[in-house]
Amino acid sequence: MAVKDIKNKLTDTLADNKSNWQSKAEWREANKAWLRHSRQIALKINKALKAQGLTQKQLAERLEVSPQQISKLLKGTENMTLETIAKLELALGVALIGEVLYAEANALTWNGQVLNEPVESYQQAK
């Protein structure tokens, strides 16, 4: 095959495979606020799994979701709802958000109710 033919073949192949790195970078920039939180939560989930000797599959079973869903959460690019975060906290017995409240206040109350109970107490009440 002649050099000219190889060059033409490469040009044709590359013309069809346009990179979308710029649109991905723009998306990350536009969504960086919640992505930062998602990554932090994913790291905490991963730490809790390791500390408890749990697999992603076992966590998926506790939450009654697919292992693929857990994999998505652990990538740190999933926009989780508060409901999902609360379910994860209960399943793992750890706080994924709001540790600042736990650390800063001995007893944060409102209308006589304690608002900053450790997550473990929720599991015991289950």
Question: Is 56 among the domain residues?
Answer: yes
Looking at residue 82, its pLDDT comes to 93
pLDDT tops 60 at residue 116: no
Residue 119 Cα distances to 71, 80, 85, 86, 90, angstroms: 23, 19, 12, 9, 7
Question: Is 104 among the domain residues?
Answer: no
pLDDT tops 70 at residue 43: yes
pLDDT band at residue 4 using 50, 70 and 90 as cut-offs = confident
Number of domains in the chain: 1
Whole-angstrom distance, CA of residue 55 vs CA of residue 60: 9
pLDDT tops 90 at residue 34: yes
Question: Is 82 among the domain residues?
Answer: yes
Global pTM value: 0.63
Question: Is 38 among the domain residues?
Answer: yes
Question: Is 48 among the domain residues?
Answer: yes
- CATH classification of the domain holding 45: 1.10.260.40
Average pLDDT over residues 25-50: 94
Question: Is 30 among the domain residues?
Answer: yes
Question: Is 91 among the domain residues?
Answer: yes
pLDDT tens profile 47-91: 999 999 999 999 999 999 999 999 999 999 999 999 999 999 999
Question: Is 35 among the domain residues?
Answer: yes
**Domain limits for position 36:** 25-98
